[in-house]
Structure 1
Amino acid sequence: MEKISVEERPNWRQKVESEGFAFHTIDGERYWDERGYYLFTEKQITRDIEAPTLELHAMCMDLVDRVVGSEELLTRLAIPPAFFDLVNTSWVEGHPHLYGRFDLIYDGKGPAKAIELNGDTPTSALEAASVQLLWLEDQIQRGVLPARATQFNTIAEDMVRAFAAFPKGGPFYFSTISGSVEDRGTTDFMRKMAAHAGIDVRHIDIEDIGLTSGGRFVDLEGRWIERLFKLHAWEHIFHEEFGVAVPGCDTQFVEPAWKSILSNKGMLALLWEYNKGHPNLLPAYVDPDPHKPLPNGWVRKPYFSREGANIELRTPDGERVVEDGPYTDAPYILQEFSPLPKFGDNFTIIGSWVIGDVSSGIGIREDDTMITKDTSRFLPHVVLD
């Protein structure tokens, strides 16, 4: 695994914007950064990324099966009791799921270590599936990369296949909170993939979803929302006014309610408890007292943190890095510190995608600190022997 410097395409902004990637720059700083790429061998991808991702996914499915029927475990994951039956039923009835993303620490040598899973509302799908692949095609066409260069990236086609496998039904609505350029870009991309699968697709802002007196969710014209992809986390829905109506409604949600088990960091403690010593996991435990000073060699994370917010880490030699944020109203875990590989001045993390039940590709983020945030840069990758 290497980082290779390369000249950016002279018209890269127009190129990426034509793909709906309007958030390539955040607060005047690059989010998409094609001045370099990460180089992998085929063996590194198949042995060290793809195979562990499938194994981690299988462990997560086993974990869901253990948790859904246990009030004690659901409580440990801070899922409200009013939604226990919803979570259990969605699993027992086999409500279909679409995607998830493991965040892996990998330096090209030792085994990849999973530090997180976003199993409910992962973003960066557009840039991972489409933008970096078009970059690769352009660079091959321009002669910058050889024709045999590839990527570990079947995310788009696997997503189309996953949508095509969903039970047949009426229009499929895609929703996000209004005003977020990033979230809208993500859902527009996914809506396009569903359309390629022959599905009637529509957009609706979450704020525009209505609820009838009979408990049915409807759009602005009063039409039944039979199927809804929501880029809105279950832990929020559980505590919102309209969330009370979800257990009794007749809308199919994607992701399904059982994904709430895999969308909070408490599951990392359970994964370790049931798979202690696994080479792709780090020791993790529920933090009994998150107000105590963090010991050296550990990371403290809230259950529902997003994009690095409210994370604190101490290296084995005592260096402390902390990110502020709003996620302070839930339990925390302690996870053993594992250093992110550093390339030049940049700390790097790999997002490994699972679409349906298939390991489908990777996206790479880098930052000048050891905590990956929403502003951390996204770089393309190349697989080449």
Structure 2
Amino acid sequence: MRRIPHGPVRPGWQLTNFSLGLTYNDTELPDGTMLSYWQEGPYYDFTEREITELETAVSTLRAMCVEAGDWMVQQCPRHDRETRRTAYFTSVCNPNTCYLAKIGIPEYTHEQIIRTWYDGDADTWQHTDKDLDGRLPVQTPDYSPSIYGRFDLWYNGEGSTPRLLEYNAQTPTSLVEAAVIQWHWADQTKLTSHPWMQWNSIHDRLVGWPADGEDPADEGAWKRNIRKLREARPWLPEKPKIFFAYETSETSGEDRMNVAYLMATAEEAGFPVELIAMSQIGWDVAGDRVVFVRKPGDEVNAEPIDVIFMLYPWEWLWNEEGGKAFFRNMADPGKRGTVWIEPPYTAALLGNKGLLPVLWNLFGDDPERSKYLLPSYFAESTKAASLYSYAKKPVWGREGGSVTLVKNGDVILDNPTSYGADGLFVVQELCELPSFEGLEGTVHPVLGAWLVEGEPAGLGIREGVGKDGLVTRNTGHFVPHTVGAE
């Protein structure tokens, strides 16, 4: 892993990147200066052995996260069938007995978090015996598609071991630049004749590979997941319409373009699609269903939503007014409720920093797996107090908000925001990002390892500059990479 500070500069690269979807390249800083998000010129180069090491780390970490998700679910009383019945009208979850409650997730969401996690596992979820007093519907396995995610890793090249910083399991961005922009950059600069060129199979894994036959291995994520969904819900049409929703209050255009790119991959895979705003998702009271509202207030004539991808945090949605209706609809025993991509478990079990102490608790004593982790604890624990150098992170936080770095007992970086207002924090042993010297000064890369359907799919690198760059924020840069550059 080496950083090349003086790579080729393509003529008209700004217009090329814009035409490929990077419409949010320029960021205005508080002092009025403009910052280019994409860095044209510098790039990182990796060896095949380093990429293999990263792929192994991603596969191992993903398997560990699945085990951690199982553990978290089993700490919730509602994972047990009998408790689900007897506690239908009562509260059984509190921070002392339920991990989901400990990290602030409303109890009304727990059953659907658990169900979407266990979907397809008949032995765990299915039951056909009668419910007490006929109050609860019989639940059967469904299918809750999960398409993509991103591990943020510390890595400093061969001789070091990749370490997990966090798992962006529900709403990761930087997808356009990782999947499309840097691929075209590598193709246009011709820096390598290596057949890999770069670690980047994101687009092919989403859309599918060209094939002569009907081999399911060539289907791609969208075709495979919708096929499995239709097996659970045969009433769906062969090619159900997939809505793609983004939050319009994000004014840079980053959310919109990341969602638009995912929508384009689903369309390329053969599905009808439509791009909508989160504010256009409504609730039809009479029909008891989630709908797409084309005109404000016209829920009666709105279009039912069977399948939707949303780039919007579940932890926001389940605390909003419409959350309870959406979760009740999701629980429809006839499987006519809306299917959400990504499902709620991606935020509740994997996409928050509460995952980190669970992973360390489960695997901290396993040398083959703990090497990919950093010791992590809840901030109020006694073990956390034993750390003198650590990163303090809000359980529910984004873009480095409210992250504090402490080294030898002294605060070296603080980034106060509204995140963490609930008082839920974890501490993770400090592992400062690697340092490279560039024209911009000292830069600190974090490696974003992409997963498609839980499988390693590619790499995107963001870097911060100077001391503030030790925490990756929305003012960081995206820098492309190659494998085996000449």
- Does TM-score exceed 0.5, indicating one fold? yes
Structure-2 separation of matches of 1:148 and 1:91: 40
Does the aligned pair in 1 maintain the 2:387–2:429 contact within 8 Å?
Answer: no
Structure-2 separation of matches of 1:35 and 1:377: 12
User: Are 1:17 and 2:7 matched, yes or no?
Assistant: no
Superposition map of 1:257-276 within 5 A = 257-260=344-347, 261-276=349-364
Quote the residue 1:337 is aligned against: 430
User: Are 1:215 and 2:288 matched, yes or no?
Assistant: yes
Name the SS for the 1:127 alignment partner: helix
Among 454, 463, 474, the residue aligned to 1:357? 454
Superposition map of 1:87-236 within 5 A = 87-93=113-119, 94-108=143-157, 109-140=159-190, 145-148=191-194, 150-160=197-207, 161-166=220-225, 167-168=229-230, 169=236, 170-180=240-250, 181-213=253-285, 214-221=287-294, 222-236=302-316
Name the SS for the 1:89 alignment partner: helix
1:179 offset after TM fit, Å?
A: 4.4
1:293 offset after TM fit, Å?
A: 9.7
Structure-2 separation of matches of 1:45 and 1:2: 13
Name the SS for the 2:152 alignment partner: strand
Structure-2 separation of matches of 1:327 and 1:294: 24
Does the aligned pair in 2 maintain the 1:172–1:201 contact within 8 Å?
Answer: yes
Name the SS for the 1:38 alignment partner: strand
Quote the residue 2:41 is aligned against: 35
Q: Which amino acid aligns with 2:10?
A: R
Name the SS for the 1:33 alignment partner: coil
State percent identity of aligned pairs: 31
Name the SS for the 1:34 alignment partner: coil
Q: Which amino acid aligns with 1:382?
A: T
Does the aligned pair in 1 maintain the 2:247–2:312 contact within 8 Å?
Answer: yes
* TM-score normalised to structure 1 length: 0.95
Per-residue Cα deviation, 1:23-65 (whole angstroms, up to 9, x for no partner): 1121120111122000100000012x11100110111111112
Q: Which amino acid aligns with 1:172?
A: I
Q: Which amino acid aligns with 1:327?
A: Y
CA RMSD of aligned residues (A): 1.8
Q: Which runs of 5+ in 1 are unaligned?
A: none
Structure-2 separation of matches of 1:273 and 1:146: 43
Does the aligned pair in 2 maintain the 1:295–1:314 contact within 8 Å?
Answer: no
Does the aligned pair in 2 maintain the 1:215–1:248 contact within 8 Å?
Answer: no
Distance 1:22 1:294, change over 3 A: farther
Distance 1:251 1:231, change over 3 A: same
Higher normalized contact order (CA 8 Å, seq sep 6+, divided by chain length): 1
Superposition map of 1:361-376 within 5 A = 361-368=458-465, 369-376=469-476
Q: Which runs of 5+ in 2 are unaligned?
A: 29-33, 77-97, 120-142, 208-219, 231-235, 295-301, 330-336
Does the aligned pair in 2 maintain the 1:294–1:314 contact within 8 Å?
Answer: no
Stretch moving more, 60-69 or 327-336? 60-69
* TM-score normalised to structure 2 length: 0.75
Structure-1 separation of matches of 2:415 and 2:326: 33
Does the aligned pair in 2 maintain the 1:363–1:380 contact within 8 Å?
Answer: yes
Does the aligned pair in 2 maintain the 1:39–1:383 contact within 8 Å?
Answer: yes
Name the SS for the 2:433 alignment partner: coil
Structure-1 separation of matches of 2:154 and 2:74: 32
The structure number with the bigger radius of gyration is: 2
Quote the residue 1:67 is aligned against: 72
